[in-house]
A and B are shown apart, each in its own frame.
Chain A
Amino acid sequence: MEVRIEAVAKDFDRHPALHEIDLAIASGELAALVGPSGSGKTTLLRLIAGLETPGRGRILFGEEDASRLSVQARRVGFVFQHYALFRHMTVLENVGFGLSARPRALRPARAEIDRRARELLELVQLGGLEKRYPPQLSGGQRQRVALARALAIEPRVLLLDEPFGALDAQVRRDLRRWLRELHDRTGHTTVFVTHDQEEALELADRVVVMSQGRIEQAATPDEVYDRPATAFVHGFIGESSRLPVRVEGGEVFLDDRPTGLRADWEGPAELFFRPHQALVGDGAGGLAGMVTGGRRIAGVRRVELELGAAHRRVEVDLPLAQSCAPGTLLAFRPTAFRLYPLAGEGRPADRAPARQLAHG
């Protein structure tokens, strides 16, 4: 079921949690909401579910205006961060709860409810645990019971709030892959919140980046990573270094010194590049910085550099074999970078669109 959010805003005691938001989630899509703490992810999810009422705007399920429907009538599967399982019910009763709560005319017979609940438990790979109570399960198992319970009502939309938030890294990775497979199999329109951007990039068809109650960008993982719409997105998704520069006559200057980079821009800007998108070593030319430290990250050595009198910090990646002692001077040149308007130029830089992708 397609979900459309049209100009939805939400205040809590006059404090805006969401400014006007527009977002369309295609039928069968798996969308991830990411953003810093307090950016409004949970609020948006709860608005879709009907657990909060929007101050303005509409939420459409297909052609139906869901804002008019009660929580019960919306038929959304909501998986809470802390699972919210009913602890006095067995796993089977938990999963069957939604079906037995249906109005009498639509309610399947007891045996049918049990059969379907069992089927769902098989689907989430928990067959055999029907008789257990939630406190007798591990975190990952509870998470899957919560998911099965949400799936039981044949939801029109599946909403998950930080579904793997409370689990350890290994379990997260397994569940992530498993959720992707499950989604591909069942095809539910799904929105999940995560604060783990890696999770969002790996799992989602579309990544929605939020900040301070606004959507910064909603696009495919590739798009969000390779062409961040705003400085905020660039800084938030993936590793990046930033440098305040100015562009004159198409040439990029840092502290009034030419960098050898060229860009279609005029005036001050903020330059972003990723550590792995830099050519490092003698003859790289352009920029140079003093090595202040380094650490190994998986297959590369990430080196911290300080540039100029202002001690601006950037990070670049080196091959593991190449060592460089602190204190040495290292030349480098970003192979790809993006420029964004500087903060304080009338509008906040984090919100203004990027105008340039240039190759040096």
Chain B
Amino acid sequence: MALALPALRRPSVIPGFGLTLGFTILYLSLVVLIPLSGVVWRTADLGWAEFLRLATDERTLAALKVSFGCAFAAAALNVVFGALVAWVLVRYRFPGRPLLDAAVDLPFALPTAVAGIALTALYAPDGWIGGPLAALGLKIAWTPLGIVVALVFVGLPFVVRTVQPVMEEIEREIEEASATLGASRARTVFRVLAPSLSPALLTGFALAFARGVGEYGSVIFIAGNLPYRSEIAPLLIVIRLEEFNYAAATAIAAVMLAISFAMLLAINSLQAWSRRRYGHG
């Protein structure tokens, strides 16, 4: 290429940069960019005013709020409890550990509808868990809480499986060093262990969050799908499609795309910062 790109042409010990970059761009275009640009394209057809009207429709806004809010809450819960599960799997040897380890992956493998039906049966007011909770006045199925439950379920392996290998890298000696220096257990966890895990925790959060925003199958059973209250955006898109209201469906899709992309971008840069600060490669 006659056109010199100094930043990209830094000599490297690993050959084939040009070829692999070219392939990556082509592949991403085919698999990700072209389908997504379809959404943008269709939206552009609508015209700005029409798009705004559809996107700020009250029911749409409510659905978006439910989708992103629940996904965020579920991902946050998963970070805390996923880290705990990973910790137990990494640090302790106990009978049944291989079973527990395998069980973590179940949400990956299970058809989401199966998960949805199972969770609904459990958390319905007459279910095993839902029953006692209903007696306490806490309704889970057919409320946003139910959505969070479903999203915690599908998002858990993302956190556990991203954090686990990084935890395995932390030598026990690091903890012991902290203890011999006089640090309490809590101080060791929050000042020594957590910071070195933060890039992995952020990645796990991003993955669980992204999965939660896009989740459909397991949610629609437990959510009850009451408009304005427990209706998620992906479901609203399907509803609009069934009404042959392609314009509205596209508008919602475009908004979801924009928000998701912005959030992932933000998380990515936070992660890069945290890796510079805490990771060092």
Contact = CB atoms under 8 A, between A and B. Distances in A.
A53 to B, nearest CB: 13
B178 to A, nearest CB: 7
Contacts of B178: 86, 97, 101
A231 B232 CA distance: 80
B180 A51 contact: yes
A88 B196 contact: yes
A71 B178 CA distance: 10
A71 B184 contact: no
A40 to B, nearest CB: 18
A78 B176 contact: yes
Contact of A86 (B180, B182, B192, B279): B192
A97 B179 CA distance: 11
Given A98-B182, A102-B182, A78 B177 contact: yes
Contact of B181 (A51, A82, A98, A135): A98
Interface residues of A, number: 29
A74 B182 CA distance: 8
A76 B280 contact: no
A87 B196 contact: yes
B171 interface: yes
Interface in A106-139: 133, 135-136
Contacts of A149: 177, 181
Contacts of B45: none
B131 interface: no
Contact of A97 (B183, B278, B279): B183
A87 B169 CA distance: 12
Contact of B174 (A50, A84, A133): A84
A50 B180 CA distance: 8
Given A84-B171, A86-B192, A101 B184 contact: yes
A78 B280 contact: no
Nearest to A79: B177
Given A86-B192, A87-B280, A135-B281, A49 B171 contact: no
A84 B177 contact: yes
Contacts of B184: 72, 101
A76 B146 CA distance: 51
A153 interface: yes
Nearest to A75: B182
Interface in B171-222: 171, 173-174, 176-184, 187, 191-192, 195-196
Contacts of A135: 280-281
Contacts of B280: 87-88, 133, 135-136
23 contacts: A49-B180, A51-B176, A71-B179, A71-B180, A72-B179, A72-B180, A72-B182, A72-B183, A82-B171, A82-B173, A84-B176, A86-B174, A87-B196, A88-B277, A88-B278, A88-B280, A97-B183, A98-B182, A101-B181, A101-B183, A101-B187, A150-B180, A153-B182
